[in-house]
Amino acid sequence: MAAALTLYRTTIGKKAVMAITGFIGYGFVILHMIGNLKIFEGAEGFNEYAHFLRTVGYPMIPERGLLWVLRVVLLAAVILHVTAAIQLTRLDWASRPKGYRETRRKQATFASLTLRWGGLAIFLFIVYHLAHFTFGLGIPDFGGHETAYQNVVAGFSNPINVVLYIAAVGALGMHLYHGVWSMFQTLGLNGPRTDGLWRGLAVLSGILLFLGFSTVPVAVITGLVR
């Protein structure tokens, strides 16, 4: 415990926390995307999946047991990720009180330079997303998980939501484009032999998750799913 606290005092320790919590989020968005694609199985399949999430392992695990464990883990991960990000950003901004008149970059990418702003966008989106599909904000005849399929169709019938969702998953894709590689680098799991592998995984993750998540709103607005 003492070692963990002294580690957290260092910038590298804070980043390790970001990497581990980021990994939890990364795993979550992959499962979330795969789950979303069940929309193409139709109303019955999708709603059954929503029901399954609440009854995994029942009766050995109480109903919604796993769901709540996951919710607590995810909430803790988000809180730690954001807290460390804010602390590190403050340190980073304080480290160069007077900037350059001219700055050019050789290696930086749009994704790596805007990581924190993309993160902020994702955070705001999560709040909206929960209000939208978990609490039913702006969805007529919202029936919770019982009518998950109908909620999705109703939600994405509004073009504003479609644009918002695609922009948000675009930010997520950019975040992963830099973040997934960064995770391995920060945890010291990178080296000359693995660099290409993690870079490739990061690019692939960013692109595939963006495409996978965007498919559902596009399918609804184009009438493919109704």
Instruction: Name the site residues for another protein (rule: CB under 8 A).
Output: 3-4, 6-7, 9-16, 88, 91-108, 112-113, 115, 178, 181-182, 184-192, 195
- Cβ distance to another protein smaller for residue 55 or 185: 185
Q: What tokens does 156 get? A: 């994405």
- Residue position matching structure tokens 């460390």: 84
Find the shortest distance in angstroms from Cβ 99 to another protein: 6
Find the shortest distance in angstroms from Cβ 166 to another protein: 26
Crossing angle between the packed helical segments 2-9 and 11-36, to the nearest 10 degrees: 100
Contact 46, 148 (CB under 8 A): yes
Crossing angle between the packed helical segments 159-186 and 148-156, to the nearest 10 degrees: 110
- Cβ distance to another protein smaller for residue 82 or 88: 88
- Cβ distance to another protein smaller for residue 36 or 112: 112
Find the shortest distance in angstroms from Cβ 82 to another protein: 15
- Cβ distance to another protein smaller for residue 34 or 91: 91
Find the shortest distance in angstroms from Cβ 179 to another protein: 9
- Cβ distance to another protein smaller for residue 75 or 189: 189
What is d(CA 114, CA 178) in angstroms, rounded to the nearest whole number? 10
Contact 107, 199 (CB under 8 A): no
Find the shortest distance in angstroms from Cβ 202 to another protein: 11
- Residue position matching structure tokens 């320790």: 13
Across 193-213, b (16+ Cβ under 10 Å) vs e yields eeeeebbebbbebbeebbebb
